[in-house]
Structure 1
Amino acid sequence: MKTTSKIQFFNVWAFFSAIFFAAGCTTTKNLQEGEYLVRSISVECPTCKETNIKPENFNSYIKQRTNRKLLGVPVYLYVYNAGTSGKSNKIKRRMTEKMGEEPVIYSSRQTSLSAEQMRLYMKNLGYYHSIVDTIVTYENKKAHIKYAVNPGIKYVVDTINYTGLDTILLEVVLLDTINSKLKSGMAFDVTVLNSERTQIARRLQNLGYYKFNQSFIHYYVDTTLTGVTGGINITVEVKPFEQLPDGKFKPHQRYIIDQLHIFTNYDVKQAIIDKENYVSKFVPSNYRDALYYNDEFFNIKPNIIWEQNYLFPSTIYSTENVERTYKHLFALKTFKHVTVDFVEKPYDPYFGPYLPLDANIRLTPFKTQSYMLEAEGTNTSGNLGIAGNLKYRHKNIFRGAEILDLKLKAALERQIDVIGNENPAFNTSEYGFESMLTLPVFLFPIKNTGSFKKAYNPKSTLKAGINYRQRTDYSRIIGNFSIGYLLFGKNNPNLFYFFNPIEINLIKVSNLSETFLATIQDPVILSSYENRILSVSNIQIAFNNRTSNKPRTYSINWTAESAGNLLSSYFSLQKNNSIGVKEIFNVPFAQYVKTDLDFRKHSRLSKRNTMVYRFFAGVAVPYGNSVAIPFIKKYYSGGANSLRAWRVRNLGPGSFAGDDNLYPNQTGDMKLELNIEYRFKIFGMFEGAAFIDAGNIWSVTKSDSRDGSLFDISTFYKTTAVGYGLGLRLDFDFFIFRTDVGIKLIDPALVGNTFVPSNPNATEYVAFNFGIGYPF
């Protein structure tokens, strides 16, 4: 056993030694005579500055790439060379398969194909006489490839003609040309032609032309009459449904929905087995103009399905209505499969010029009830712990697609105490209960009219919970209740509105240790740890298009919150207590306003490289009945999801130098933060990251006695902290384990020179962070 371990260790050591030796040697030693390693690839297009073409647009058409690099070094090629040289063994073969990459050998054929693809790309943009030259230089068994692009003259659209044998259909197309993206005088672009084809087909499908699709639209582009002057003539032909041999044709038909069948518990497997007999098992019931097929195993109120449906009998077929039906039914989160299909029926004079269709909505629900027991290890910025959750969910609790969620939580954690001592045992415990009921309707005060529900697909949530947390320094109980609403964007599926008109939080802090109280010398900070009632109203607007396949995606989240206004108005005539504060049941209520903005951008540079940017800004201002923000609403900085060169709650506010012997947690009323992270694939499940974090927290109340904590717009940049570092992530598909090493670059708490590298104790300014998932 020991001998095997020694041998394996020696093999791994020898393998990586070979890699470092190979790194010092040439990367071309395994090439045959006449072979050249592709060392660099570049695209030059001096005249592209005068167009809307960027040189990087050509990258996707280049067939050959250079060997992958890690931080600018072709490590994978080094691994391959080391693994294929010398005596082979199991370790070397495995490492070569997992990490190695064969050398990319120059191919004149691949280079010519790349140039041809670039010319085709330019032609699709209207540059019919573009030139792409390839220049290859050879040096020490390495090839440097350069593509020289000259777009030439760009064609513009001169005339646009529409034609078609089906004159009725052609007239429908002509009536919508005012909305056409294809205009005379515009620059020729194939992407615009494809977009126009899609737009015409979709408009006709929404007007009842069930069988119409993009293949019935043909373009004819004529450049023969214009030579190289840049003019181009386009003919748009709308094909009939079928061309007959005698010169006649079958026109496209419009369709109308006849019957609507809704299956609320459709079993796909059983339907395949039973075939025609499957439907006969159900006894349909009528609701409005639809036939419902319910069963005893899953019975949902028919009005809930009807309100999410856009397909109605005696209405013209519309693809847009089909898509809306899919979207709204899936949004219930009750059905795992939603299928909408249509069955053509024989002509019926009752429907006049339209052909009838039967619409079938087949719904396969999730399991109605589910249970989940979770056990997890926690790491809150270095504070290790264990936690367990028992979750229960019912997806149709009142037969109206209402979702009930219940959660029991218990956790233990080892935390650093008030004076900075680390206790090896678990010294913090937390227990909680959470409940949430989600309703597919809008509760008071807005009436659930059909038009409102169709436009915004509203949902309501009722939440209630209690959480108890015991630390060595104090104990805290929070009870909460809230009513909230979720609205989807009317014409934008990526836009969401959240509104909580009522949110009540009861905070009770007890068992404050004498040591804890002795460390808090500022009465403003101490007041944030007193018992409080929070009556909160907030609104949140969120936009997120990260589900798209675009190379650049964004998410914006804005929140505004106010507390205590309703209580202040109600108790305006009540006398203040001995310290000038109004109370409810002998407990003061908090008053403050707060707003946050969180912006994130993901830029995919390639399949293996991504740049991520995040900007956060937030401010909270106490007033009226409060002199400080409650501690659960305060901002903090540092930790695995913030400035990673600082431990959580160990930075700021401002240039204030927190001392573990004086104050345990550093929090503030304002926060600014900017994060930039470069993410790259290494191999297999391993990913790397390089990052820069900047920001801080500040106080906005002049009564805060902490030196340097107050925000000043003219000098805040001098108290902005900056850190940088590297990260390693393991992608297990279902979750990502992350470790980041942050190093302080500028520490505003330092006296004099805040630039850390000039500080003789710079080695002390390193923080290790562990987390689950990406930081942002």
Structure 2
Amino acid sequence: MKMRFAKIGLLLLCMAISACNTLRRVDEDELLLTRNTIYADDEKVIDADIRSLIVQEPNSALLGYPLRLNLYNLAKENPDSSYQAWLNAKPRRAERLASLLSEKQVARLGESFLVKGYSEWLKNVGEPPVIVDTAKSRKTLLRLSSYYDSKGYFNNTTTYEIDSTKRKQRAEVEYRISLGPGYMIDSLGQDIESAAIDSIYALNKTGSFLREGQQFDLSNFNLERERLTTLFRNTGIYNFQESSITFDIRRDTSQTDIDTDMEVTMNIENLRQRGDTSSTRTTYKVHRLEKVNIYADYGPEMVGSELQSVDYDNYTIYFQDKLKYKPKALTDAVFLAKDSVYREIDQLRTYRQISNLNTFKYPNIELVQDSTRTKLTTNIYLSPRPKYSLGVDFDITHSNIQRLGVGFSTSLISRNIFGGAETLSLSARGTFGLLSDESLPEDYFSEWGGDINLLFPRIWFPVFDTKKIIPYYMLPQTRISAGSSFQKNIGLDKQTFNTIFGYNWTPSTFRKHALELLNIQFVRNVNPDRFFNVYTSTYNRLDDIADDFQDDPTLSEFFEETNTPGDPRLIIPAGTRGFIQAVAAGDINVSREQQLEVNRIEERRERLTENNLIFTSNYTYSRNNRAGLTDNNFYQLRLKFESAGNLLSGIANFIPFDKNDSGNQLVFGVPYSQYMKTEVDYIKHWELAGEDVLAFRTFVGLAVPYGNSNSIPFVRSYFAGGSNDNRAWNPYSLGPGRTQTLNEFNEANFKIAMNLEYRFPLVGNIKGALFADAGNIWNLWDNVDDPAATFNGLESLEDTALGTGFGLRYDFTYFVFRLDYGFKTYNPALEPGSRWFSQYNFANGELQIGINYPF
């Protein structure tokens, strides 16, 4: 009890000190601003856009605590006098400094390093107290009044009140707006000088943002001006100026007999052109493209030179000496067509597609008007990128199995490889270093590999032309790639070979499609007999069962002595293999539970050591409405569907394949995988007050084996935990279900994950976060029969793990370095009465390191 009161007393003392420190730089005649509130017609305003009009905001706070203000208050007001006081209090140290340094050097040392540097740092990362300033309050009133003017409340009145009665030397400011009547658009007319503009407007009037009977809103006028500008520039008026559109608004804002009806007239004037001495007005006209010229490999040497040309598909291509590109590759990237009406969207699509070729720099498109002012000549200048480019990267790695690793990668890019703006990329990579695992026979590891990628800037499909289905403005690409990797002294020393043939296209900035017709991966385990050396948890479970039979003389050849007398262990691999076979044959009288456990161990060993042939097709749809890097109100959606083995299964109906002892069909001596897989990944961000952001993510993935498979290949299965998942668990250490991390690498074929994170600024580029991660993995519709690891309906959702914690981030502008510490809040692997908060401590927490935000 005394200890409890002591803790409460200490907490109250800290709060009191904090309160005093908050007012340290606030004079007696000043008030610290603590809150702003806006009321419109006595209704509290919470809209973030309106609140952003407030000129003076209170000091920032972390969970209600003014951290940056208190850091600022810790700084010395006069660092030089503080240093002099230190010298007076330490005369011997002062004499020693004086004997070593000159008087000027001593003063400079005290000023720049000992005290002043520390105080300046506190002031830089801190935040001075925000004192109520009535001038800034009046400026806020002007902003609020202007805002509500723009919404049609032209007779609004504004006032503010300062409430300093709640706490000592602190004040809250209330802004009150009396809106008055809202003005309405009573009539809407037009005055258009150009006949061409008038005709186009009449045909597209229904899409207007302005309506009769609508309350005045300035944003609607701006939207209408933008709509019409886009409309005219895409219907032949290539030189239309947005400034040509103005509005005349007639309204009565007198205080007596107010008439809130407004007469609005939209004016569209002719084109204004400025000369050297005067300006003239020219009637807008519809323009057609008379000629389209493409200058390939354009550079300064082409200016004034005699050029060769070739006409292709109504385009004229100019070049020097020799044309290095197939004409079709160039013309397919241009959407400005001869004899067509000019459209700005065609010009923008041309910019995008030429950039997408990855062969030219950003193009220069010139529009030249003829004397009739109705026809245009289009000149497209294409400056080439270097034919070849070489890149080299080095890095140093460290992990739980790598004591030290040195990696390198290099890539060579060759552009326009076949004359059709294709890009060929050759890459090689390698990592070499020392192992941390002393149980392995060697103390070094290596991993190396290489890839070859060929990218076509079009959909290449030999059967029919896809141009009508996926036009070139969708930035279509065909990708063909092949690669391999080889491991030495890593796990079972996998050798991987893969090849991909697929397409991707982008209908708009916010939508993307990716289709892989073929994704073939072959995984070969070079050292499957090393399974129990690598997966030691599985070995220990098997050895614990074998301990009950270590005295059986018929099994003595399976055991070897250890440093502990009387505690022999199974020999790897001969002893483990022999013991499992003896249990399977019934030569050992094991219990039912022991037999089930040995069967599960053997199934796991077979699955993780068998070679895999994965022959898949998949489709991915992505949607993202983020407007830019600074947009914190957006969502992302990714849907993926994958099918494996169906093509080979169909071929097996005509060409009989060999089968193994389990009845699985073999291709090149390897059973091919067959499954269906689907994933849904959704991310949503909300921008709160200031720089605060609330981020949410949910993921659901399921892979169902069938036909030639009864399980999912390890490389295609799901795991839980890690810096981008449930951060209270390390990777592969959570699940499946309520099992207690049975293996080093726990995986399953069904996953649910949900993440919620609150992000906020701390000091300078240092950001903070509070997060909650929920989810788990389960086995569903596969060969695992352990009820603790399988998903058996909605009741299995009780096995959903929950981790909560906090994080720090440092923003380097180009990337974010992230530290997260997660606590096991709900651990389904524990007994039901101990699952909540029993491991909620630093001893059972996990530190995760990551680059950039997890979602």
TM-score (norm 1): 0.87
Over alpha carbons, which structure has the higher Rg?
Answer: 2
CA deviation string 1:530-559 (max 9, x = no partner) = 112111010010112334354411111110
TM-superposed CA distance for 1:746, in Å, is 0.6
Aligned pair in 2 of structure 1 residues 298, 41: CA closer, same or farther (>3 Å)? farther
1:174 aligns with 2:193: no
CA deviation string 1:633-658 (max 9, x = no partner) = 00001011111110100000110112
* Aligned partner letter, 1:254: V
* Aligned partner letter, 2:79: K
* Aligned partner letter, 1:400: G
1:736 aligns with 2:816: yes
Aligned pair in 2 of structure 1 residues 442, 129: CA closer, same or farther (>3 Å)? same
2:492 matched residue in structure 1: 474
CA deviation string 1:348-375 (max 9, x = no partner) = xxxxxx5333322233333332212111
- 8 Å CA contact 2:413–2:423 kept in 1: the answer is yes
1:280 aligns with 2:304: yes
CA deviation string 1:253-281 (max 9, x = no partner) = 333333333333345xxx5xxxxx85213
TM-superposed CA distance for 1:296, in Å, is 7.2
Q: 2:269 aligns with which of 236, 239, 246?
A: 239
2:10 matched residue in structure 1: none
1:555 matched residue in structure 2: 636
In structure 2, C-alpha distance between the alignment counterparts of 1:111 and 1:571, rounded to whole Å: 80
Aligned pair in 2 of structure 1 residues 390, 450: CA closer, same or farther (>3 Å)? same
Q: After superposition, where does 1:374-385 map in structure 2 within 5 Å?
A: 374-378=393-397, 385=405
In structure 2, C-alpha distance between the alignment counterparts of 1:224 and 1:55, rounded to whole Å: 29
In structure 2, C-alpha distance between the alignment counterparts of 1:544 and 1:476, rounded to whole Å: 36
Q: After superposition, where does 1:721-732 map in structure 2 within 5 Å?
A: 721-732=801-812
In structure 2, C-alpha distance between the alignment counterparts of 1:283 and 1:137, rounded to whole Å: 79
Aligned pair in 2 of structure 1 residues 714, 560: CA closer, same or farther (>3 Å)? same
Gaps of 5+ in 1: 1-18, 272-276, 348-353
Length, aligned pairs only: 729
1:112 aligns with 2:112: no
Deviating more after overlay: 109-118 vs 603-612: 603-612
1:599 aligns with 2:682: yes
1:65 matched residue in structure 2: 57
Q: 2:452 aligns with which of 408, 411, 435?
A: 435
Aligned pair in 2 of structure 1 residues 78, 363: CA closer, same or farther (>3 Å)? farther
1:770 matched residue in structure 2: 849
TM-superposed CA distance for 1:422, in Å, is 9.2
In structure 2, C-alpha distance between the alignment counterparts of 1:48 and 1:399, rounded to whole Å: 67
Aligned pair in 2 of structure 1 residues 298, 79: CA closer, same or farther (>3 Å)? farther
Q: After superposition, where does 1:18-97 map in structure 2 within 5 Å?
A: 23=18, 25-32=20-27, 34-45=29-40, 54-88=46-80, 89-97=115-123
Aligned pair in 2 of structure 1 residues 756, 770: CA closer, same or farther (>3 Å)? same
- 8 Å CA contact 1:413–1:428 kept in 2: the answer is yes
In structure 2, C-alpha distance between the alignment counterparts of 1:676 and 1:282, rounded to whole Å: 64
2:662 matched residue in structure 1: 579
TM-superposed CA distance for 1:434, in Å, is 1.5
Other structure's SS at 1:435 match: strand
- 8 Å CA contact 2:354–2:362 kept in 1: the answer is no
TM-superposed CA distance for 1:219, in Å, is 1.1
Q: After superposition, where does 1:54-453 map in structure 2 within 5 Å?
A: 54-88=46-80, 89-138=115-164, 139-224=167-252, 228=258, 230-242=260-272, 250-267=282-299, 271=300, 279-281=303-305, 283-288=307-312, 289-294=314-319, 299-347=324-372, 354-378=373-397, 385-412=405-432, 428-444=445-461, 445-449=463-467, 452-453=470-471
In structure 2, C-alpha distance between the alignment counterparts of 1:106 and 1:133, rounded to whole Å: 15
* Aligned partner letter, 1:116: L
CA RMSD of aligned residues (A): 3.1
1:634 matched residue in structure 2: 717
Aligned pair in 2 of structure 1 residues 494, 100: CA closer, same or farther (>3 Å)? same
TM-superposed CA distance for 1:745, in Å, is 0.5
In structure 2, C-alpha distance between the alignment counterparts of 1:386 and 1:769, rounded to whole Å: 22
* Aligned partner letter, 2:420: G
* Aligned partner letter, 1:484: G
In structure 2, C-alpha distance between the alignment counterparts of 1:714 and 1:666, rounded to whole Å: 22
In structure 2, C-alpha distance between the alignment counterparts of 1:279 and 1:21, rounded to whole Å: 77
Other structure's SS at 2:448 match: strand
Q: 1:753 aligns with which of 824, 833, 849?
A: 833
In structure 2, C-alpha distance between the alignment counterparts of 1:133 and 1:56, rounded to whole Å: 20
CA deviation string 1:421-474 (max 9, x = no partner) = 899996653221122111012111441436743353321000101122344541
CA deviation string 1:298-327 (max 9, x = no partner) = 943332221111123333222121111112
CA deviation string 1:571-600 (max 9, x = no partner) = 135464321111112211111000111111
Other structure's SS at 1:280 match: coil
- 8 Å CA contact 1:525–1:628 kept in 2: the answer is no
* Aligned partner letter, 2:519: E
Gaps of 5+ in 2: 1-13, 81-114, 275-279, 543-597
Aligned pair in 2 of structure 1 residues 586, 149: CA closer, same or farther (>3 Å)? same
1:503 aligns with 2:514: no
Aligned pair in 2 of structure 1 residues 587, 575: CA closer, same or farther (>3 Å)? closer
Aligned pair in 2 of structure 1 residues 381, 156: CA closer, same or farther (>3 Å)? farther
Aligned pair in 2 of structure 1 residues 368, 739: CA closer, same or farther (>3 Å)? farther
TM-superposed CA distance for 1:391, in Å, is 1.7
TM-score (norm 2): 0.79
In structure 2, C-alpha distance between the alignment counterparts of 1:78 and 1:154, rounded to whole Å: 45
